Amino acid sequence: MLDDIHRQLLLVKERLREKEKLESMLKESRAMLAQETQKCQRHEQILNEEKVDVDHLEGLSLTGIFYSIIGTKSEKLEVEKQEFLAAKLKYEESKEAVQDIQQDVQRLESQLENLDNVEDDYHNLVARKEQLLSQANHQVSPVLLNLSEKLGDLQADQKELQEAVEAGQIALNSLEQVKSELRSAENWGTWDMLGGGTLTTLAKHSKIDAAKRQARFAQHKLRKFREELADADKRLHLSLDDIGGFSTFADYFFDGLIVDWMVQSKIQSASAACYQAIGKVERALSECRESLRRTIANIQATESERKRVVEEA
């Protein structure tokens, strides 16, 4: 009977920790949603302003007439169109991020609904176990209770770390793909500077577009990894100083490539930002894996100790 309650307690405690984790992630996601929504609104305002500038130059406004008279209207219009394009791409990127985070919030809220009664389940099982231990009146009972509590905590730690490692590996793989696309774009760019012709230029642009698409995906996965790390860090005290920088990766990346995509140095700068993000993820993953290894070793030691106490009782 006691072993049966012990197994039930381990499962319920895991669900209890899962609820606490989801609540923490939901709080983080809501804060990120508010921040990204404000950012999206700023980009939308800038986009509208840039559109007005283009419309003024293309129409019969005083601005357009002025630049026509001094003979620089076409040059000014080209600059304004590039600025409009940059604003449009940044707005679309931010809008996609808002939609992604909104989906995360809805998913977390739905998962939490399924864990509404987990606290009651936990307290009821603890009360039943305490009653059985009291009836048994055995000197090893408190020791077994403590070992069961410790084992439940360690197994919950293991689950959190495994989820963090999985999220980190997905983020790392996506960044490696960005790196590959940028390396290819850089190689095509070198040929382009040496007079490779139209096909070479098109190939370079195609690789940059692929890198941008992959960077959006990578940013989403980095956001997931950061959420997992933030939760694990609160409980396990990991020294992850770099995790705050994950969210800036795409901002820097897109700022470098949106307008000046034809400039080779911008491709190299984006590659440097990608390498830096990869380094941060690798360091965080390494620490998570080491913490996971220690946790598994502690679980094995605790299970052995519990078995020994039962056998010697």
> What is the number of residues in the chain?
313
Q: What CATH number should be reported for the domain holding residue 37?
A: 1.10.287
Helix residue spans in 194-263 (DSSP H): 198-236, 249-257
Among 288, 293, 296, which residue's Cα sits nearest to residue 163?
Answer: 288
Mean pLDDT, range 50-66, rounded to an integer: 64
Cα–Cα distance, 48 to 50 (Å, whole number): 5
240 and 120, same domain (yes or no): no
133 and 170, same domain (yes or no): no
166 and 297, same domain (yes or no): yes
pLDDT class of 134 with cuts at 50, 70, 90: low
64, pLDDT greater than 50: no
222 and 279, same domain (yes or no): yes
158 and 254, same domain (yes or no): yes
290, pLDDT greater than 50: yes
227 and 242, same domain (yes or no): yes
59 and 5, same domain (yes or no): yes
pLDDT at 265: 66
- Per the structure, how many domains does the chain have? 2
Cβ 190 vs Cβ 200: under 8 Å? no
- CB atoms closer than 10 angstroms to residue 276: 15
pLDDT class of 109 with cuts at 50, 70, 90: very high
153 and 290, same domain (yes or no): yes
Among 263, 301, 280, 180, which residue's Cα sits nearest to residue 229?
Answer: 280
151 and 278, same domain (yes or no): yes
Q: Which domain holds residue 237?
A: 139-313
Helix (H, G, I), strand (E, B) or coil at 143: helix
pLDDT digits (tens, 9 = 90+) for 142-201: 777 788 888 888 988 898 899 999 999 999 999 998 888 888 766 654 444 434 545 455
Q: How far is CA 88 from the centre of its chain?
A: 24
Higher pLDDT, 295 or 201: 295
Q: What CATH number should be reported for the domain holding residue 207?
A: 1.20.1330
127 and 144, same domain (yes or no): no
Mean pLDDT, range 277-305, rounded to an integer: 91
pLDDT at 309: 75
Residues 6+ apart with CB under 8 A from 45: none
Share of the chain above pLDDT 90, in %: 18
16 and 120, same domain (yes or no): yes
Cβ 140 vs Cβ 313: under 8 Å? yes
91, pLDDT greater than 60: yes
pLDDT at 249: 55
Q: Considering 119, 137, 155, which residue would you say is the last residue of a domain?
A: 137
Residue 84: CA count within 13 A, CB half-sphere = 16
- For the chain, report the end-to-end CA distance as a whole number of angstroms: 16
Mean pLDDT, range 105-112, rounded to an integer: 94
Considering the chain, what is the average pLDDT of its residues?
76
Higher pLDDT, 251 or 103: 103
